[in-house]
Amino acid sequence: MSGMWKGQAFSVSHADSSAFEGEGLRAFFEYRDLGIAGATNGKFGAHVIRAVPGQESPAVWHRHELDFQMVYVTKGWVVFEYEGQGQQVLREGSCVLQPPGIRHREVRHSDDMELIEIISPAEFATEEVDAPA
């Protein structure tokens, strides 16, 4: 396949030519697709996610059906609560690997919060779940 290397295409995403969209998984966040899903035929995905100022999280417990999810905070702070791990305050420079299926919730965040999320696969199911016992 022309332009493909081991099932991946070369991809570049620039901040000044990629818009944030409010149609992602959570309404209180905006998402900027980094083009990784298209370049890997959906095997991986990557987004820059930022807070919508003035919007708060409903702190709903949920889990994702995926193989890999890494979050790296580039600006501000966010508090996640994880099954068996308690609340974790992630701030600029913090990184977390969320194991497949771990129950978690976003508790609160700064209005200027921004993070990078890398996932596999790019499309995955999310389900709301009961809080861990």
Q: What's the pLDDT score for residue 26?
A: 61
Give the pLDDT band (50/70/90) at residue 1.
very low
Residue 36 phi, psi (nearest 5) = -75, -35
DSSP string, 73-103: EEESEEEEEETTTEEEEEETT-EEE--TT--
What's the pLDDT score for residue 16? 78
Q: What is the pTM for the complete model shown?
A: 0.85
pLDDT of residue 111: 93
Longest dimension (CA), the chain: 52
pLDDT above 90 as % of the chain: 68
Over residues 34-85, the pLDDT tens digits come to 999 999 999 999 999 999 888 787 888 999 999 999 999 999 999 999 999 9
Fold of 20-128: Jelly Rolls (2.60.120)
